[in-house]
Amino acid sequence: MTETLQPSTSGTSPLGPGPIGRSRFWGSEAASGLALISPTALYAILLLAAPLATTLLYSVLTDGYLTVVPHFQLCNYIGECHSQLVNGTMAPDSYQGAWTDPIALSLLWRSLYVSAFVTAATVILAYPVAYFVSFNVSASRKSLWLFLITIPFWTSYVIRVFMWNVMLGRTGVINSILMGTGIISDPLQMTFTIQAMVLTLAHAYAPFAILPIYVALEKIDRSLLEAGQDLGETRFTTFLRVTLPLSMTGVIAAVLIVFIPTIGDYVTPNLIGGGKLPMIANIIEKQMLKADNKPLGSATAVTAMLVVALVSLLFLFLNRRYLKGQK
């Protein structure tokens, strides 16, 4: 007994979608959404994922003379490595991997605590500003305040760092004022210090911390604050038990936005630190360009990214426990 195949009225054959099915897909909402996200997805793949994948790949390859040799090795991370010479033999001189090099580890530790100080100072100073704009400024003037907060973005980051170098220098504005008023007789050494780097970075990233905290504060229902005070809470306890927990999403965003880029900052240690207080980004630049050791530089960069990811996840975990404790 034979069975004949009847043509499908839906535009598809028993073997799969036909021309009618494909035409319906390209006219659907899914196809429209795919077309909308495709440019962004391609941008992310080409400019974000591809460099990251290249860095990961380079970190497990062998350093050669003005090139990268496609030979797998893990000593770029731990142990001793040898570069490969032009004739294919290994160089007699060795170098330490990123996890065993004491210089790289000390610079990574310095980057961590400098970034932690910058993040703490920035968020602590940004929260009162965001709170003031959200709760004390009239709705008609909030746009003006936000406009003023974004004024530092009008100039280049490098120019802002140069500005602090001029202000903090031995012949800078601050020393000139202090010596002119007789407060000090000799100029203070304010540049080439960790404190000057923290001050410069905190000023540079302050708007990045103010804006997300302000957005979180704006979303808080004011009736919750009134209910807390009606139940006998003071303004301070209402802030601790209502306002602060509800605004922690903005605080988290501010912490991550400030912490992640500052740990890899390259300009400030060079200009404010005078090259005497390098951070992890500075040694990566030397390994990549001056020493022409891209595998070691890539391994150091991957190590820094892993440390940043672990610290960020730890902060999110502790914050979640804090919010659960508040409940």
Are 77 and 105 contacting, i.e. CB atoms less than 8 angstroms apart? no
Are 251 and 213 contacting, i.e. CB atoms less than 8 angstroms apart? yes
Q: Which residue has the tokens 């996200």?
A: 37
State how far Cα 175 lies from the chain centre: 33
Whole-prediction pTM: 0.79
The fold adopted by the segment(s) 102-326 is MetI-like fold (1.10.3720)
What average pLDDT values come out for the chain (327 residues) when binned by 10 residues? 49 50 60 73 81 91 84 87 76 83 91 93 94 90 89 84 86 85 84 89 91 92 81 82 87 91 89 86 90 90 92 82 61
Contacts for 309-314: CB closer than 8 Å, 24+ residues apart:
311/112, 311/259, 312/256, 312/259, 312/260
Are 230 and 162 contacting, i.e. CB atoms less than 8 angstroms apart? no
Q: Which pLDDT score, from 0 to 100, does residue 262 have?
A: 92
Q: Which pLDDT score, from 0 to 100, does residue 1 have?
A: 45
Are 77 and 101 contacting, i.e. CB atoms less than 8 angstroms apart? no
Q: What one-letter code names the amino acid at 97?
A: G
Outline where 45-101 has alpha helix (H).
Answer: 50-58
Are 294 and 68 contacting, i.e. CB atoms less than 8 angstroms apart? yes
Q: Which pLDDT score, from 0 to 100, does residue 327 have?
A: 56
Are 77 and 313 contacting, i.e. CB atoms less than 8 angstroms apart? no
**229 Cβ partners below 8 Å, 6+ apart?**
235, 238
Q: CATH 1.10.3720.10 residue ranges in the chain? A: 102-326
Q: Which pLDDT score, from 0 to 100, does residue 13 have?
A: 47
